[in-house]
């Protein structure tokens, strides 16, 4: 079966044989995708003119209601999405829940939050500014929805959540979305879009999807569009310098590589709640989705006197994690999504091993449960130990996108800060400590290079939302090598899909424009 593309209000099957999407456990070809023959320029213009006009005719609360209907539909079809996730991504039930349920939860969150914006269609920012000695001439700042389309070029690891965490705020803002999912796992995103289209929840042109190569997509974006990309730093660099993107100053949001850290404080010794909480979270981050998360823990910073005990504790937990076909009983860790990703992980792991000691995993004769190692895409969870600190290179520069993490001992707080910052910008760091002095020094010193810092102590316990779990009400993104982008953060995400402008004129003009506006301060509420 070849998956059709939904563009200009109709389903179009791409030309040619297309690319096969495979089961990463068995190697079986499941479906095929092709974008050949799709008129991308026409598809984008249809989305802008037809989809955009229909969405902007609705109020924020009416768009929020449509998001609520989408959430109900996705919930009703949850079991079908889990099945596709298992077959196309090799996802365990926990992995599928992380992606699919995360998508549903995010759409529901924006459906609820959007109601607060009420029967408005744009945003008013701040008070009026007097520009004359009397009130005859004034200025008012507004945030107006973009007239273009939100183009999403997504990553393979979250075909469900990656789609809806971007689409929900864009649709709420009144901007149509055009989705180009990563080819290896495009099936789930395509099915979700197909279900929404079939249900007739959104007006024609409000959502489009193209599966397969991006081809000339960036040649046709305009100054009124937004392009949001999640993927490698190399691809991001090519997008930033694309001639059309540069010439038209296209708004670009990037989430790229990230060597995230978990940091144990000096008080997080064996036997403490903070130590145990760190061990649990490290193992979870190495195994959920087989470490294929942009937010996963890659470096584990621990006091020199604690690092070996931590390695032993994590290794002991990993030894109890069954790795293999998710269809097999008791399996907790599945495969990577493809043989190509497996090869990339092995290549990165080989670099890490040049400056690290393997303390768990790395067995060349590893045999997954219920699967043929020759045709499947498994990588054994691997824990490494690097005592070179800042002198190491690959540990701080290479993100192995799989179940691989490295423990790095540090000598003191200043050393921990320097090592954390050596990642040159990350999505998240989690800190396990109840030491107020340590936290007061560490957190402000690393905050500018991290989109999110999660602090866990004994009082927080197991009530935290997780190192790698992105909450729709909180910022997702990071500076530097993490891409410099920002997503989510509750209603703050709508700012990307609006353009700030100031209107100068008489009170009557500003009154008329303000009647259809709601206070932009609600975005930060």
Whole-number Å distance between alpha carbons of 97 and 104: 10
**What pLDDT shows up at residue 363?**
86
Q: Is 368 helix (H, G, I), strand (E, B) or coil?
A: coil
Characterise 326 by phi-psi region: left (phi > 0), alpha (psi -120 to 50), beta (else). alpha
Task: Kindly name the residue from 211, 294, 356, 386 that is annotated as catalytic.
Answer: 294
Whole-number Å distance between alpha carbons of 487 and 472: 9
| Beta-carbon contacts of residue 267 (< 8 Å; ≥ 6 apart) | 274, 433, 434, 435, 438
Q: Where are the alpha helices (DSSP H) in 182-332?
A: 186-199, 233-240, 243-247, 273-287, 307-318
Instruction: Specify whether the CB–CB gap between 291 and 402 falls below 8 A.
Output: yes
Sheet holding 10-12, edge to edge: 10-12, 5-7, 207-209, 177-180, 150-153, 226-230, 251-255
Q: Where are the alpha helices (DSSP H) in 115-216?
A: 161-173, 186-199
- Cα–Cα–Cα angle for 118, 519, 478, nearest 5°? 100
Could you read off the pLDDT tens digit of each residue along the chain, which spans 525 residues? 899 999 999 999 999 999 999 999 999 999 999 999 999 999 999 999 999 999 999 999 999 999 999 999 999 999 999 999 999 999 999 999 999 999 999 999 999 999 999 999 999 999 999 999 999 999 999 999 999 999 999 999 999 999 999 999 999 999 999 999 999 999 999 999 999 999 999 999 999 999 999 999 999 999 999 999 999 999 999 999 999 999 999 999 999 989 999 999 999 999 999 999 999 999 999 999 999 999 999 999 999 999 999 999 999 999 999 999 999 999 999 999 999 999 999 999 999 999 999 999 988 789 999 999 999 999 999 999 999 999 999 999 999 999 999 999 999 999 999 999 999 999 999 999 999 999 999 999 999 999 999 999 999 999 999 999 999 999 999 999 999 999 999 999 999 999 999 999 999 999 999 999 999 999 986
Cα dihedral sign for 333, 213, 163, 11?
A: negative
Whole-number Å distance between alpha carbons of 26 and 23: 6
Q: Is 486 helix (H, G, I), strand (E, B) or coil?
A: strand
- DSSP-derived secondary structure letter, 415: H
Whole-number Å distance between alpha carbons of 281 and 274: 11
- What are the beta bridge partners of residue 2? 32
Whole-number Å distance between alpha carbons of 180 and 154: 6
Task: Kindly name the residue from 165, 255, 285, 487 that is annotated as catalytic.
Answer: 255
Annotated catalytic residue 62: no
**What pLDDT shows up at residue 364?**
77
Annotated catalytic residue 255: yes
Backbone angles phi and psi of 478, in degrees to 5: -170, 160
């Amino acid at each position: 079966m070849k998956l059709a593309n939904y563009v200009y209000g109709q389903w179009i099957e791409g030309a040619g044989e297309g690319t096969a999407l495979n089961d990463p456990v068995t190697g079986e070809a499941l479906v095929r995708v092709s974008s050949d023959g799709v008129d991308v320029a026409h598809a984008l213009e249809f989305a802008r003119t037809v989809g955009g006009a229909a969405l902007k005719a609705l109020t924020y609360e009416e768009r929020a209601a449509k998001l609520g209907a989408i959430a109900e539909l996705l919930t009703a079809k949850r079991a079908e999405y889990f099945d596709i996730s298992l077959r196309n991504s090799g996802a365990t039930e926990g992995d599928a829940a992380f992606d699919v349920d995360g998508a549903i939860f995010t759409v529901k969150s924006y459906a609820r939050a959007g109601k607060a914006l009420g029967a408005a269609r744009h945003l008013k920012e701040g008070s009026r500014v007097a520009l004359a000695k009397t009130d005859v001439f004034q200025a008012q700042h507004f945030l107006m929805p973009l007239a273009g389309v939100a183009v999403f070029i997504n990553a393979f690891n979250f075909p469900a959540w990656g789609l809806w965490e971007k689409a929900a705020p864009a649709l709420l803002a009144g901007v149509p979305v055009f989705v180009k999912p990563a080819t290896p796992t495009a099936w789930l995103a395509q099915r979700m879009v197909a279900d929404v289209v079939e249900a007739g929840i959104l007006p024609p042109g409000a959502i489009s999807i193209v599966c397969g190569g991006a081809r000339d997509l960036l040649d046709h974006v305009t100054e009124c569009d937004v392009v949001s990309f999640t993927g490698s730093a190399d691809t991001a660099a090519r997008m930033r310098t694309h001639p059309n993107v540069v010439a038209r100053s296209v708004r670009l949001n990037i989430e790229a590589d990230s060597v995230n850290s978990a940091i144990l404080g000096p008080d997080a010794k064996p036997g403490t709640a903070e130590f145990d909480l760190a061990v649990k979270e490290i193992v979870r981050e190495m195994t959920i989705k087989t470490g294929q998360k942009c937010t996963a823990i890659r470096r584990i910073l621990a006091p020199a006197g604690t690092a070996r005990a931590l390695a032993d504790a994590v290794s002991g937990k990993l030894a109890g994690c069954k790795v293999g076909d998710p269809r097999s009983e008791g399996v907790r860790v599945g495969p990577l999504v493809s043989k190509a990703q497996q090869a990339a992980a092995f290549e990165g792991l080989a670099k890490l091993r040049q400056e690290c000691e393997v303390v768990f995993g790395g067995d060349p004769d590893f045999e997954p449960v219920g699967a043929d190692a020759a045709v499947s895409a498994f990588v054994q969870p691997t824990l490494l130990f690097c005592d070179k600190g800042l002198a190491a290179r690959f540990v701080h520069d290479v993100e192995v996108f799989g179940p691989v993490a490295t423990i790095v001992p540090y000598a003191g707080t200043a050393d921990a800060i320097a090592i954390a910052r050596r990642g040159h910008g990350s999505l998240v760091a989690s800190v396990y400590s109840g030491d107020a002095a340590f936290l007061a020094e560490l957190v402000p010193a690393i905050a500018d290079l991290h989109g999110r810092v999660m602090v866990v102590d004994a009082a927080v316990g197991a009530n935290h939302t997780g190192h790698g779990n992105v909450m729709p009400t909180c910022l997702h993104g990071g500076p530097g090598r993490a891409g410099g982008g920002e997503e989510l953060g509750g209603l703050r995400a709508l700012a990307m899909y609006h353009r700030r402008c100031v209107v100068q004129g008489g009170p009557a003009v500003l009154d008329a424009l303000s009647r259809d506006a709601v206070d932009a301060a609600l975005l930060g509420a």
